[in-house]
Amino acid sequence: MAGGPTPGQGTTGRPTRRAVLAGSPEPGTAGGPTPGQGTTGRPTRRAVLAGSAAALPAVISGCRGVQVLGMPPPPAPDIRLVRAAISAEQQLISRYHAVAAGPGRQAGAAQPLAAILAEHEQHLARLTARLVVPAGSAQSVRPAATPAASMPADLAAALAVLSADEQAAAQRLAAGLLTVPPSLAQLLASISASEATHVPVLDQLRRTA
């Protein structure tokens, strides 16, 4: 009948509570909140935490990958041998300087010691010229200079120390000849032979000191 309430409306013409509930969209349907979203349409705290936890392994894996890539490769055997030879020459030069400035100033010893010292400085220059370290290597920085050596104040005792050092250096170089390329082996053999010849010179000076 005209003027009466329509279905879903009360006597006042406003929608009843049942009609409002019946018209509310279900979760996941158009107009309703989707799983992981609140009533405002924004992600819930639980959804944000779940997404962060899922992404964490990938972040950790990426960090480990950067660390692995950032590790410099170890130096090759020939580079290690050249560096050891350089350190030995630096130590010998430091000891010869200490003896020359002290007991080696005697007239009979000064000239032979100066000649041997000059040969060691040439050895060091040749070895340093052969030290080519790839950029980014674990030992790309050249060894630091050896601090000033402390030698005996007695000339005979100082010459005995130098003779033992020369013999040990010559043997170390000869022992590594088979592990390096031929061109480097030739250089090391030459230096080893030179240092071996210093031993009788020093022993002769020690006997006359």
pLDDT means over runs of 10, the chain (209 residues): 53 55 51 54 61 55 51 71 94 95 89 97 95 60 61 95 97 93 94 97 94
Residue 73's alpha-carbon distances to 94, 138, 141, in angstroms, are 31, 6, 14
Q: What is the pLDDT of residue 16?
A: 59
Q: What is the pLDDT of residue 118?
A: 97
Question: The whole model's pTM is what?
Answer: 0.62
Which sequence spans correspond to the domains of the chain?
A: 79-208
Q: Which 8-state DSSP code applies to residue 105?
A: G
Q: What is the pLDDT of residue 14?
A: 61
CATH value of 79-208 in 3.40.50.10480, 1.20.1260.10, 3.40.50.620, 2.40.128.20: 1.20.1260.10
Q: What is the pLDDT of residue 148?
A: 65
Burial of residue 137 (CB within 10 Å: 0-12, 13-18, 19+) is: middle
